[in-house]
Amino acid sequence: MKAWLSRLHTDLVTVPSSPEELARFELSHALPDISCRIETDPSMGEGYHICRKSDGSFLISGGSTGILYGSYALIRSALCEKSMPDNLSSSPRYALRMINCWDNMDGTVERGYSGRSLFFEDGHFHYDPFRMRELGRLMASVGLNILCINNVNVHFPAQLLLEDYLPEAASLADLFRPFGVRLMFSIDYSQPMRHGISTADPLDPAVQEWWKGTAKRVYNAIPDLAGFLVKADSEGRPGPFTYGRNHAEGANMLADAVRPYGGKIVWRCFVYNCRQDWRDKTTDRPKAAWEHYAYLDGQFADNVILQIKHGPFDFQVREPLSPLLLGMKKTNLAMELQLAQEYTGHQIDIYTMIPMWRELFEELPAENIMSVAAVSNLGRDENYTGHPLAAVNFFTYGLLAWDPETDTTAAVAEWARLTYIIPAEDEKKLVNLLLSSRRVYEKYTAPLGIGWMVTPHDHYGPNPSGYEYDMWGTYHKASHDAIGIDRTASGTGYLNQYPEYIQKKYEDPGTCPDLYLLFYHRLPYTFRMKDGRTLIQRIYDDHFEGYYDVISMVETIHDLPFPNPDRDVIRERANRQLHNAKEWCDIINTFFHRLSGIEDEHGRIIYD
């Protein structure tokens, strides 16, 4: 991240007053030998047009932020030594391209793997303006435009809507404005109850008035605030269910409050029973979001956006696309991704996400959603992402949020080229390593759609029975002869939530793609996979293969000429990844060997 920023120009010491001024600054410093003119056309909004003139100079036209995005696009292609565009028009596919920070005001970051909060410490705002400008540049350089600065789990008393915090929040918004970045705040649904009102019932006039007054105050301080992000009735957070109200009633009440100011309510759909009894076979967690929201399609106000996690569980290494993203045609939707590597290696293990996002976008018609959000992987670490290579996820998320058809390999190659000036052969090795890293991680952790099997709560490292007798509803039910949950029509019925063409693709274990097999089916270990191997053999093979892949990844990492300080961090984390991969491989294989009593056909070591 730092490396990419320094390719721009490290000394952004003064605050640019507008996106246009920033665009001029960036062009003149990053491309001193190329003559570029900018021309504002407000009708183009965030879109831009780059035109190469016959004298070799460039004209960038666009709305005010469009000019900025066009300038960064030109800079990126020049620094990548790609052929410069002659005539290029581009505009973002999605209106809100959001980063959701799960930063707490005490300075901690929920699921943060890059140090403490960039914004808060000890119950207060606490930030380095220089780093805020760097963050603004990072976001603008890949077209991201909304930054929600606080955790969706809003912990009392740290609530940004209070008078005490608003002036500082407004100063922060001022810092980000020239970068085309608007702030958003997470709110606590029960907040009126902290202010003398006895209820948070969305249909109660006193509650409605309180929110209207609060929105007025907040928008007075920050007129271009993007809106509020809400986690309600989810994992113990308060919400409309307490008052017998549904989520359309809950969200629309807030939407009325922010409507006069053009604000949005981004309402998360991560609602499920997290107090489930493992003995209860009638509740299947992946079904929950659909059950809570699908019937409300068409009832949400036009300034409400439902933010839906990409899969029906919770950011596992492989999950099918959430059926809700396919089923709510009359509601504004956003897909939520997670850059923070909660279940995917804690930014110790290398895990490049764009291949996964590509698969999601292949199943999701682009017009189904109007926005995208991603949980941030940034923190106060000098390099922002803890693991320097985790920056590829932030960068490529921006490219994909702008254009979901962005080519996966080209996006990763662009990040590598902008970040490290290394010989072409090495760059190629790095790109290949990054592109394969998700599949490698999947193999040594939880392949074939099993998911979970992680250490509870912390979510790093293996614990195959950790979530088996817990209340979170995440069971694999491995017995001595079979594993998985039947989610077809003959089982929990989860698959019925999809359109028929998807049901057909997954309903028969004989034709269901291997990678999703154990998400949809309960099967005996002796089940024959399409390639003739038994299921148990495939489980053993994947774990061994994943571990062996990490051994060679680590060798490659040690050979690559990364510059310092990145090199030391990357090597040190690679060694930890190797240790983690061995733990996963050995523990999972031992777990299944003990249960099934079936030997590995290749006689590799499994510890009993």
The residue from 342, 507, 541, 549 that is catalytic is 342
Give the residue, chosen from 4, 179, 267, 270, that forms a contact with ligand GCV under the rule CB under 6 A: 270
Question: What minimum distance in Å lies between the beta carbon of 474 and ligand GCV?
Answer: 10
For the question of residue 134 being annotated catalytic, the response is no
Cα distances from 364 to residues 305, 321, 584, in angstroms, run 17, 8, 32
Report d(CA 241, CA 523) in Å as an integer: 37
Residue (152 or 258) nearer to ligand GCV, CB: 152
For 87, counting Cβ atoms within 10 Å of its Cβ (0-12 exposed, 13-18 middle, 19+ buried), the class is: exposed
Task: Give the binding-site size for ligand GCV (rule: CB under 6 A).
Answer: 10
Give the residue, chosen from 77, 89, 153, 436, that forms a contact with ligand GCV under the rule CB under 6 A: 153
DSSP 323-371: THHHH-TTS-EEEEEE-S-TTTTTTTS----HHHHHHHHHHS-GGG-SE
The residue from 86, 164, 209, 235 that is catalytic is 235
For the question of residue 41 being annotated catalytic, the response is no
Question: What minimum distance in Å lies between the beta carbon of 448 and ligand GCV?
Answer: 23
- Residues 6+ away with beta carbon under 8 Å from 213: none
For 156, counting Cβ atoms within 10 Å of its Cβ (0-12 exposed, 13-18 middle, 19+ buried), the class is: exposed
Q: Which stretch binds ligand GCV (CB under 6 A): 171-179, 227-235, 381-389, 527-535?
A: 227-235
- Residues 6+ away with beta carbon under 8 Å from 345: 351, 441, 460, 577, 580
For residues 469 and 463, is the Cβ–Cβ distance under 8 A?
no
What residues pair up with 534 in beta bridges, in sequence order? 528
Question: What minimum distance in Å lies between the beta carbon of 476 and ligand GCV?
Answer: 18
Q: Which stretch binds ligand GCV (CB under 6 A): 7-15, 228-236, 404-412, 444-452?
A: 228-236
Tokens 């292949």 correspond to what residue?
362
Residue (102 or 357) nearer to ligand GCV, CB: 102
User: Per the structure block, which two tokens stand in for 464?
Assistant: 């195959």
Residue (24 or 231) nearer to ligand GCV, CB: 231
For the question of residue 507 being annotated catalytic, the response is no
Q: Considering the rule CB under 6 A, would residue 363 count as an interface residue with ligand GCV?
A: no
Q: Considering the rule CB under 6 A, would residue 230 count as an interface residue with ligand GCV?
A: no
Question: What minimum distance in Å lies between the beta carbon of 312 and ligand GCV?
Answer: 13
Q: Which stretch binds ligand GCV (CB under 6 A): 37-45, 231-239, 462-470, 570-578?
A: 231-239
Q: Which of residues 52-111 bind ligand GCV (CB under 6 A)?
A: 102, 110-111
Question: What minimum distance in Å lies between the beta carbon of 211 and ligand GCV?
Answer: 22
Give the residue, chosen from 314, 319, 349, 507, that forms a contact with ligand GCV under the rule CB under 6 A: 314
Residue (358 or 459) nearer to ligand GCV, CB: 459
DSSP 263-312: -EEEEE-----TT--TT--S--GGGHHHHHHGGGTT-S-TTEEEEEESSS
Report d(CA 570, CA 555) in Å as an integer: 12
Residue (376 or 589) nearer to ligand GCV, CB: 376
Question: What minimum distance in Å lies between the beta carbon of 146 and ligand GCV?
Answer: 17
Q: Which stretch binds ligand GCV (CB under 6 A): 230-238, 490-498, 511-519, 586-594?
A: 230-238
User: Per the structure block, which two tokens stand in for 597?
Assistant: 């009593």
Q: What totals of helices (H) and strands (E) does the chain contain, helices first?
A: 17, 16
The residue from 26, 46, 314, 549 that is catalytic is 314
Report d(CA 167, CA 11) in Å as an integer: 27
* Interface positions with ligand GCV (CB under 6 A): 102, 110-111, 152-153, 231, 234-235, 270, 314
Give the residue numbers marked as catalytic.
235, 314, 342
